[in-house]
Amino acid sequence: MSQQHDTAQFTGALADAAALSRSAEIDLAAVRHNVATLAEQVAPAKTMVVVKADAYGHGALPVALAAQAAGAEMIGTAHLAEALKLRAEGLQGDLIGWLHTPDAPFEEAVAADVQIGVSGWELPAITAAARKHGTTAKVHLKVDTGLGRNGCSLLDWPDLLAQAAAAVREGTIEVVGVFSHLAVSEDLTHPATPAQLANFEQALREVEDAGLNPRYRHIANSAAAIAWPQARYDLVRVGLSSYGLSPFADKTPADLGLIPAMTLRSRVANVKRVPTGTGVSYGWRYHTHEGSTLALIPMGYADGIPRPATAGPVQINGTTYHSVGTVAMDQFALDLAEHPDAPEIRIGDEAVLFGPEPAPSATEWADAAGTINYEVVTRIMPRTPRRYRNAEFRVTLPGAAATTALATRLARLLTAGDGVILSGELGAGKTTFTQGLATGMGIHAAITSPTFVLARHHENPTGAPLVHVDAYRLADAAELWDIDLDQSAPDAVTVVEWGRGKAEELFESWLDIELVRTVGATTDTTDFSDEDVDEPRELIIRPHGPRFAGYAALQALHQVTLGPDHHPQRTSAVSAAPTMKAEA
Ligand SMILES: *Cc1c(COP(=O)(O)O)cnc(C)c1O
């Protein structure tokens, strides 16, 4: 995996400075939209979302969580180590890895309930691991129907099936799936796909003959899931399309109802007029014309911009320019004479390399470099911080005690200046939640609803004070200013009940937290006691702002939702010390 995610800390300053000069912003709402769109399209087949290679550069855990929230049945990786990292980060649900060498962590995978793709030679190691752990390994048998890469040869398939059937009888494996992979699915006229599907049918007949009855038969990647309905079987494995990119040369993401999830941004690092005939960048592969002005983009092949790219698009202030000269390790140039009538460009202006429309696309960069869009997003290097938008964590809590406990865990992630905007019907448990936050912050005062006083300040001998506000009767943000919340917010953790649409301006970073009573919600709007009825509720956390935009923050928030039985790595996220390590 290319990225190192520091789970120990997430904080602002330096990481944000890096994010200003270049960032890959991942819109998790786009991922959820894409996965839901694909899942609906392939139903009744189920959907596996493939998050190998750190989710094609998008970040495996946030993408896997978004995919599950949007209805993904299973999460797929290439290597078992990738799947095990997700388990260690607290990802639950069905998870599979399918590409191994003899030193692969089969035992750990079996112990962590990670399903294993089996091409043949791995089976003895997997049955041994299952015996050792006294459990049944879940495997998917892979047959090579014509890709010529991994998977069991059709010649050896009956043999593998016999071994698998014996292991099933022994109780060491369960054959959950049978699968294959296509070679040319993006070309609807190529004979490879019909030939591979015919081979797959033959392989499936042999599976049946061997007495095996797998729940999932799967062969389709993104292109086949979309364009070859007969390839959907019980499950499709979508990677590229979940990220909002099109596998087809003649179809845009919009044509497929998909939204590109990654926006790659930078800022103009220099602008200068130069003499006619100036050679630009290594090798002088471009010379300027009369009236040329060069603009410098501080991203290069060390950031994942392909060195062979010529005329890669960059949008600045709404105008798209194309790169000139060689892409270097850290930078490349644009000649602004390409659009002499466009508005003036200044040092520091935002430059968008690719993203959703109207930005240029990752596919245009792929074309400029003679590669495919898969490679463009996957190779964005760790020097470019990932920033996440529209993350959403939903957790069902059995009652008041679990609400308090979650809030107590969450408090450890908060620091002075953070806001919590709390919404939910009367009786949904907002006061219970705030009591938990106070406890987690080390404040032992009893928390009562601030309805009649608007705001209560709770001093904290060990850290930031808690300011607890009820904005129900306040009309707008101005009235929050009237009670001086803008004065106290930078030095406190501020909880604003009924604050949505009013309190956001108080904070740079905040958590929007919604409590939804699943049963027995009170409709008595005259009862302001907000007495918590000890019943199940759903809690939705939506992080906003730079402090909660990094991978480590999302990882920490996910662990908060997992409950006390999980033992997440300790976080010192409340530290305000800026750290470069906070960023991937
Ligand atoms: C990467 C991969 C996929 C996903 O392919 P996309 O074209 O990105 O949808 C599916 N199956 C296997 C075996 C893969 O390795």
pLDDT in tens, 169-203: 999 999 999 999 999 999 999 999 999 999 999 99
Question: Which backbone phi and psi does 563 adopt, to 5 degrees?
Answer: 100, 165
Would strands 115-118 and 137-142 be described as parallel, antiparallel, or unpaired?
parallel
Q: Is residue 485 over pLDDT 50? A: yes
| pLDDT for the residue numbered 8 | 38
Q: Which atom of ligand 1 is closest in space to residue 223's alpha carbon?
A: 7
CB contact at 8 A, 407 and 433: yes
Query: What is the pLDDT, as a whole number, of residue 163?
Result: 98
Among 52, 138, 142, 430, the active-site one is 52
Looking at ligand 1, which residue's alpha carbon is closest to its atom 13?
A: 181
Q: Is 410 exposed, middle or buried (0-12, 13-18, 19+ CB in 10 A)?
A: buried
- What is the pLDDT, as a whole number, of residue 379? 95
pLDDT, residue 583, reads 34
In the annotation, is 52 catalytic?
Answer: yes
> If pLDDT is split at 50, 70 and 90, which confidence band does 484 have?
confident
* pLDDT band for position 6 (cuts 50, 70, 90): very low
Catalytic residue among 56, 233, 282, 301: 282
What is the arithmetic mean of pLDDT over 402-423? 96
Longest dimension (CA), the chain: 79
Task: Please tell me the predicted confidence (pLDDT) of residue 335.
Answer: 98
Q: What is the pLDDT of residue 170?
A: 96
Q: Does residue 34 line the site of ligand 1, with CB under 6 A?
A: no
- Ligand 1 centroid from CA 74, angstroms: 13
| Residue 369: pLDDT band with limits 50, 70, 90 | very high
Residues 208, 214, 215, 217, CA torsion sign:
negative
What is the pLDDT at residue 15?
55
More confident call, 570 vs 410: 410
What's the mean pLDDT in 453-481? 88
pLDDT for res 573? 36
Site to substitute for ligand 1 among 50, 75, 235, most atoms within 8 A of C-beta = 50
Measured in angstroms, how far is the CA atom of residue 154 from the centroid of ligand 1?
21
pLDDT at 5: 43
* CA distance linking residue 58 with residue 56, whole number of Å: 6
Does pLDDT of 158 surpass 90? yes
Q: How many angstroms separate the CA atoms of 137 and 528, rounded?
A: 54
Q: How far apart are CA 549 and CA 26, in angstroms?
A: 10
Q: Which residue has the higher pLDDT, 391 or 573?
A: 391
Burial 232-249 (b: 16+ CB within 10 A, else e): bbbbbbbbbbbbbbbbbe
| Residue 428 buriedness (CB in 10 A; 0-12 / 13-18 / 19+) | buried
Is the CB of 177 inside a 6 Å radius of any atom of ligand 1? no
pLDDT (average), residues 406-411: 96
- The mean per-residue pLDDT over the stretch 205-232 comes to 98
The predicted structure's pLDDT at residue 1: 35
Q: What is the pLDDT of residue 531?
A: 62
Task: Give 65-115 pLDDT, tens digit per residue.
Answer: 999 999 999 999 999 999 999 999 999 999 999 999 999 999 999 999 999
With tokens 């364009």, the residue in question is: 227
Is it the case that residue 532 has pLDDT exceeding 90?
no
| SS3 state at 517 | strand
The predicted pLDDT at position 572 comes to 35
Summarised one tens digit per residue, pLDDT across range 271-323 is 999 999 999 999 999 999 999 999 999 999 999 999 999 999 999 999 999 99
Q: Sign (positive/negative) of CA torsion 146, 149, 152, 155?
A: positive
Q: Is 517 in the pocket of ligand 1 (CB under 6 A)?
A: no
Give mean pLDDT, residues 340-355.
Answer: 96
Q: How many residues appear in the chain? A: 584
Specify which residues 174 forms β-bridges with: 138
- Whether the link from the prior residue into 194 is cis, omega within 30° of 0, is no
For the chain, give the percent of residues with pLDDT over 90.
Answer: 82
Residue 3 has pLDDT above 60, yes or no: no
- Integer Cα distance of 262 and 146 in angstroms: 33
The overall average pLDDT reported for the chain is: 91
